[in-house]
Amino acid sequence: MKKIFLLVLSIPNFILAQSFVPNAPELDLKSYILIEPNTNTVIAEFNSSELIEPASMTKVMTGYVVADQIQNGLISLNDQALISEKAWKMEGSKMFIEAGKKVSILDLLKGIIIQSGNDASVAIAEYVGGTEDGFVDLMNSYAGALGMNDTYFSNSTGLPDENHLTSARDLANLTAKFINKFPNEYALYKEKSFTYNNIRQLNRNKLIFRDETSDGVKTGHTSTAGYCLIGSAKRGNMRLITVVAGSDSDNERFLSTQRLLEYGFRFYATQKYLDANTEYTTAKVWGGRDDMVSLGVEEDISITLPRISFKDTKLKYNLKNNVQAPIEKGQTIGTLEIISNNEVVLVADLVALNTVEAKGFIGRLWSRFILWVMSLFGIA
């Protein structure tokens, strides 16, 4: 580290200001990851694919399944779930529901999200899946569909089980999909307290009390998993998600999360780089009523980079050879690369922004003849 510092000192100050991006903070964790979900950018990570016990971070998937069932009209927030003896007797964190009584799905969701209630998790699992085991099958089906290849769930609560495993990367991607797909349900994560059965409990995620830009998401702790946390914050147009696992203390997991978030927001930025339906280049068209076709991208494209790197970005176009009419609007004509510091940051399809009709038979024949002649001289 001293050698690197001495080398930096030998560089002129104006170059240092333009090129310096520090490494991510060193954290005493089993694993962690920091991502910008909207651009699918990993900003920092350590052992992010290593298998970990998710503890109560499991409940993000429990909530995801419930939110998807609501969105698909299979259940509603007003549905009333009958509380079983099994749910009532659950150990660990509790919402304090009572066996034999009915509780709304909305209240159970709040009990899961805000109070981390294991009793609420089992109650909602039994309502949605018939049994908790049936619900766990759903959880694993969703995990497979979401590409969570490191993940296997054994229960809806996160209580210890040797087969109940995931990774920081999987949890970050799950959280990103939850936020984007279910904004109404995700909004519950920023509620600071919930009262049920005359018992008021504060949200266990202290991050939302410490940082006004933080809006979730979930704590987790067991003696074997250590202290864990999924955190998220949004500042301007940039959202960051962190997962930290295996911290030694309750306070340290929050400090580690804050340090990662501050690092990401301080040294990185997300910017819209390309506008949809805007011409960025053109291509020669053979055999068409128009000689050229405008090319661009179908959707707005944003990228996340170190703040100092945006000024060094450039575009590279890779076009198909001998583009021939007819061409339909939206047809892929090549690819576009965004390059920063000689590295490809993103590759997107270049599509036709307008239709180009083909010439008549004689016109097309003449274009093919010209192409044939050019090919004889190696210029087509």
CATH of the domain at 95: 3.40.710.10
Same domain, 180 and 215: yes
How many structural domains is the chain composed of?
Answer: 2
Answer yes or no: are the C-beta atoms of 323 and 333 closer than 8 Å.
yes
292 and 162, same structural domain? no
- The parent domain of residue 364 ranges over 275-376
Residue 18 belongs to a domain: no
Q: Are 215 and 264 part of one and the same domain?
A: yes
pLDDT attached to residue 361? 55
Q: Residues with catalytic annotation?
A: 56, 59, 116
Indicate if the pLDDT at residue 245 is higher than 80. Answer: yes
Is 366 found in the same domain as 337?
yes
pLDDT value of residue 286: 76
Same domain, 57 and 190: yes
Q: What are 338-371's pLDDT values in tens digits? A: 999 899 999 999 999 999 988 655 555 545 655 5
Residue ending a domain, among 270, 292, 325, is 270
Residues 250 and 349 in one domain: no
Average pLDDT, the chain: 90
Q: Provide the pLDDT for residue 288.
A: 79
Question: ω into residue 12 within 30 of 0, thus cis?
Answer: no
- The reply to whether 15 falls in a domain is no
- What tokens appear for 375 in the block? 């090919």
d(CA 231, CA 217) in angstroms, rounded, equals 5
Q: Are residues 262 and 285 in the same domain?
A: no
pLDDT at res. 1 = 34
Each residue's pLDDT tens digit, 36-73:
999 999 999 999 999 999 999 999 999 999 999 999 99
**Domain match, 247 and 302 both:** no
Whether the pLDDT of residue 265 is over 70: the answer is yes
- The pLDDT value recorded for residue 73 is 97
Whether 5 is in a domain gets the answer: no
CA distance 208 to 153: 27
Q: Average pLDDT in the 290-296 region? A: 92
Domain boundary (270, 288, 321) is at 270
2 has pLDDT over 70 = no
Q: What is the mean pLDDT of residues 169-178?
A: 98
Q: Are residues 361 and 245 in the same domain?
A: no
Task: Pick 120 or 375 by higher pLDDT.
Answer: 120
Average pLDDT over residues 256-269: 97
Identify the pLDDT of residue 145: 97
The CATH number of the domain where 352 resides is what?
Answer: 2.60.410.10
> What proportion of the chain, given as a percentage, has pLDDT over 90?
83
Residue 20's pLDDT is what? Answer: 74
Residue range 183-189: average pLDDT? 97
60-118 tens-digit pLDDT: 999 999 999 999 999 999 999 999 999 999 999 999 999 999 999 999 999 999 999 99
- Regarding whether 116 and 135 lie in a shared domain, the answer is yes
Percent of the chain topping pLDDT 70: 89
* Among 270, 285, 304, residue at a domain's last position: 270
C-alpha distances in Å from residue 72, one per residue of 36, 75, 342: 28, 8, 45
310, 269 contact by CB (below 8 A): yes
In a shared domain, residues 315 and 367: yes
- The verdict on 246 and 297 lying in the same domain is no
